[in-house]
Amino acid sequence: MPKLVYVLNGPNLNLLGQRQPEIYGDETLGDVERDCTALAAELGLEIRFLQSNWEGQIVDWIHEARGTAEGIAINPGAFTHTSVAILDALHAFEGPVIEVHVSNVHKRESFRHRSYVSLRADGIIVGCGTQGYALALRRIALLTKDRP
Ligand code: CA2
């Protein structure tokens, strides 16, 4: 049985590849989902790849992942820098959480340097472009490999 991993995406990530390619590259979120789905199959994972512009929807998906998913890869978008609600929801999830940012937030505005989600994340991948999602899945596969 493949292990289920949630890949969660926050606000505006549906615009990936359509604007600001100098910051976010030219891959769309659909491209990322396709690549993640192919990699997941190689790694023995099944993914639920989701995006929402609504904070509460992301909280609900994290709750849904409790008890059903082995790990979460999350790019919370701008909620990274604001959302105690997403942090609290992640604290209620027991498996590995890997935080992903396409851009190098540390080279950008100072308000992007603080992440609430990092207080829970087991790993953080920043500034590796959309490849960061694949790195996150590889890390989750490794961290969950000895679980039945
Ligand atoms: O670098 C990342 O992955 C971010 O999580 C992306 C967020 C940003 O608020 C974070 O600080 C860092 C933004 C999501 C993408 O927004 C776009 C807006 C216009 C065009 C394309 C993407």
* Predicted local distance difference test score (pLDDT) of residue 111: 98
Residue 5: which H helix or E strand, with range?
A: strand 3-9
Q: DSSP letters along 38-95, please?
A: HHHHHHTEEEEEEE-S-HHHHHHHHHHHTTT-SEEEEE-GGGGGT-HHHHHHHHT--S
* Predicted local distance difference test score (pLDDT) of residue 97: 98
Tell me the sheet residues that pair with 49.
7
Q: Which residues line ligand 1 (CB under 6 A)?
A: 12-13, 15-16, 19-20, 24, 75, 77-78, 80, 101-103, 105, 112
Q: Whole-model pTM?
A: 0.97
What is the pLDDT confidence band of residue 146, given thresholds at 50, 70 and 90?
confident
| Residue in the block written with tokens 């030219």 | 26
* Closest atom, ligand 1, to C-alpha of 78: 9
> Is a pLDDT exceeding 80 seen at residue 148?
no
* Predicted local distance difference test score (pLDDT) of residue 1: 87
Closest residue CA from atom 7 of ligand 1: 77
Alpha-carbon span 91 to 99, nearest angstrom:
13
